[in-house]
Chain A
Amino acid sequence: MTAAPTTDQTTAAPKTMTGAQLVLEALADQGVDTIFGYPGGAVLPIYDALYQQNRIKHVLVRHEQAAVHAAEGYARSTGKVGVVLVTSGPGATNAVTGLVDALMDSIPLVCLTGQVPTHLIGNDAFQEADTTGITRPATKHNYLVKDVNQLARTMHEAFFVARNGRPGPVVVDLPKDVQFASGPYYGPDICKPKNYKPQTEPDHAAIERAIDLMVKAERPIFYTGGGVINAGPRASELLTELVRLTGFPCTNTLMGLGAFPASDKQFVGMLGMHGTYEANLAMHGCDVMICIGARFDDRVTGKTSAFSPNSKKIHVDIDASSINKNIRVDLPIVGDAGRALELLLAAWKKRVAAKPKIDAWWKQIEFWRARDCLRYGQTKDVIKPQYALERLRAAIQGRDDVFISTEVGQHQMWAAQFLPFNKPNRWLTSGGLGTMGYGLPAAIGAQIANPGALCIDVAGEASILMNIQEMATAVQYRLPVKVFILNNQWMGMVRQWQQLLHGERYSQSYSESLPDFVKLADAFGGVGMRAEKYDDVDRVIAEMLAADKPCIVDVAVDPNENCFPMIMGGHAHNEMLLGPEDRKSQDPTAREEGMVLV
């Protein structure tokens, strides 16, 4: 009998290849074009296979934590799954911070870690770590592949789990002998996961009940988060359409910025600890809250017992465990944010002819907005950090290809407040975990994914030193990323809390012995510039934008400036501090209660 050639791959005998080749085959079939990694003993077979192919580009970072952040930046700016390849032991443990960061912010990643050969597992072998044990609470899911016959299925399942449901990081731990062994390759079509079936379709009856609440609302507000961005660009368009159709105000969380255009007059700014006066008071005073893809995190709610006390709350989330975790809601809707928005929009169009009359509510919001809560006192003696960002904003205004990442601290909040985010996937920041050192590698990931785009890491002088080695990566791949340092010579947010909550005892928060950032940029092979005076700001921004190399801009800003508005720990949305003068009026007992909060 002679077998006729067949084009049907599912019935053909699977191709046999080594574990290392299987890994790359699976990556290619999953549409991966770029991975971020760092080689080591336990992943040498995969690096060897990488060397002998050209479908997948490998970006060599200088620290495994940065590999994960770069993959996050890549994923966040494209909507694709980010891929990381690191070695066993220290390679895997260095990646852990990035994995938790991705877990907290729901970023889809697949992280491949090398492992010692299966017969050495548990022997305290060289560079052995219990990677699946360590990363179990740091990932959405993880796998240890002990049998090469399971490798293809596991790889495809890892991608499925990373991108479906609430996205997150998945680790696949690959012992070295499995990378050498030969096994069958199966494509993604015949490797469906057994039982991971997240609910994406919202309950249609609940959608109708949501419309019931929205129609009758007198003081409604949309409160939307990163879930809308994770649901894809279409979800942001649907949100924008729905918000405009209803005429309701809209606020975004830190992770949700860009889902609704910041330039729209229905946008009331970011909410939460450093959110705008109008957003927080509108949240406090609303009667119907439509929460989509946000999780009522403590930075958003403030004191939970006083959070939006008189509102009916609708909560759309793909993760059922986000509902009723921190705040009890009246109408939970489990499902994909994009699909829920589609249904809400259709139901609204069917049932509502004209915009509801909520003029009194808008009048109230405009009254709050007139407080101009982001105002700051600019003199020509010193550069205010807000001023530097306003000038940056002016310089990038109208450009569609700008990706902003940040480190963590005051500069991050100012960037969120002052820079315009009109489209999704343009804003890369570490929200949940608050990882200093996130911004530079994230900008690198975004620049790799978006060649020719403008990728700026708004940084502080303390944070940037946590992953400064990635300047070498940027130089190696000729990535013209810009690091825009608001240098106040302090760990600014720490200093601010010490000033407000710890009796002005500035314990260990001064940035002593800072490097010369201009020379540092030069030493890496990039270009550096410094602004010391008010008049320098526009010049260095122009130079930065013109630079075709990795670039560090050191802007010497007012060391004493604090980030306002601020809701101190233990306080409610209507107890915001708008500036230093507000501090005296705070209830001291609530202040003590707030001190134990993070």
Chain B
Amino acid sequence: MSYLNNEPIERHTFAVLVDNEPGVLARVIGLFSGRGYNIESLTVAEIDHEKQLSRITLVSRGTRMVIDQIKVQLDRLVPIHTVLDLTDGGPFVERELALVKVVGTGEHRVEALRIADAFRARVIDSTAESFVFELTGSAEKLDAFVDIMRPLGLAELSRTGAAAIARGTATI
């Protein structure tokens, strides 16, 4: 698709309802790797135990043509119920959770705690020499927090990737 190279790249968030069955995630990931689409973030968890439904939140980047293809390609996988392009669908909220381990003593430790407070991060574990902070927010907010923690003894990081949902009364 060389003639499309000058089309702008867009970032889109998709909400995907799937049957919670073995292999369904492999189908989604295989589709992306097989067709050369990029995955910026992917989260998945069961949301309805009785109906065996899981929800995948997927963030990708591509030209308009690629974004449209991602939606219809996902749509034709048999265990996929619904694909919603949240970015096209109107306003939506997107949040990510991070667990951040910071190791240190003295001034750095005090400073880390002060900044965590400013970011409204919660301390969910602490020892004399470490904290584990829990922080939710946009990917950018998490990035900013991590950057500040780096010189203050950032030791380990675990992030969930984005979860997203449309604003207002609309449902998938």
Contact (Cβ within 8 A) A304 B3? yes
Q: How far apart sit A194 and B20, CA to CA, in the bound complex (Å)? A: 13
Assembly CA distance A328 to B69 (angstroms): 12
Whole-angstrom distance between the Cβ of B103 and the nearest chain A Cβ: 39
B30 contacts A144, C-beta separation under 8 Å: no
Distance in angstroms between the alpha carbons of A70 and B73 in the assembled complex: 29
If over half of B's interface residues share one DSSP class (helix, strand or loop), that class is named, otherwise mixed; here it is helix
Q: Does A51 interact with chain B (Cβ within 8 Å)?
A: no
A196 within 8 A of B: yes
Residue in B3, B26, B30, B78 with the greatest tally of chain A CB atoms within 10 Å: B78
**Residues B19 and A195 in contact, CB atoms below 8 Å apart:** yes
B168 within 8 A of A: no
Give the chain B neighbours of A137 by CB distance below 8 A. Answer: 30, 34
What's the minimum C-beta distance from A104 to chain B, rounded to whole angstroms?
13
- Are A325 and B78 interface neighbours, CB within 8 A? no
B27 interface residue (CB < 8 Å to A):
yes
The yes or no answer to B40 lying at the interface (CB within 8 A) is no
Using Cβ atoms and an 8 Å threshold, which residues of chain A touch B122? none
Q: Which of B23, B68, B79 contacts A324 (CB 8 A)?
A: B68
Contacts of B102-155 to chain A: CB distance below 8 A:
none
A171 CB to closest chain B CB, in angstroms? Answer: 12
Residues A321 and B72 in contact, CB atoms below 8 Å apart:
yes
Residue on B with the closest CB to A304? B3
Asked whether any CB of chain A lies closer than 8 Å to the CB of B170, the reply is no
- CA A132 to CA B30, docked complex, whole Å: 12
CA distance A321 to B74 in the complex (A): 9
Contact in complex: B1, A304 (CB < 8 Å): yes
Contact mask A321-339 → B, CB, 8 Å, 1/0? 1011110100000000000
Q: Say whether, besides A304-B1, A304-B3, A136 and B26 are in contact (CB < 8 Å).
A: yes
The reply on B85 being an interface residue by CB < 8 A is no
Q: A144-B22, A321-B69 known; A195 and B81 CB under 8 Å? A: yes
Do A325 and B22 touch (CB < 8 A)?
Answer: no
Mask for A58-99, Cβ within 8 A of B = 1, else 0?
Answer: 000000000000000000000000000000000000000000
Is the C-beta of A10 less than 8 angstroms from some C-beta in chain B? no
Which of A132, A321, A328 is in CB contact (< 8 Å) with B73? A321
A597 to chain B: closest CB distance in Å?
Answer: 11
**B26: A residues at CB distance < 8 A:** 133, 136
Judging by beta carbons under 8 Å apart, are A136 and B3 in contact? no
Cβ contact within 8 Å between A328 and B78: no
* A319 CA / B34 CA spacing, docked (Å): 18
The chain A residues found within 8 Å of chain B, CB to CB, are: 132-133, 136-137, 140-141, 144, 161, 165-166, 193-196, 198, 304-305, 319-321, 323-326, 328
Q: Enumerate chain B interface residues (CB-CB to A < 8 A).
A: 1-3, 19, 22-23, 26-27, 30, 34, 65, 68-69, 72-73, 75-81
8 more CB-based (< 8 A) A-B contacts, given A193-B78, A198-B76: A132-B23, A161-B78, A165-B76, A195-B19, A195-B78, A304-B1, A321-B72, A325-B65
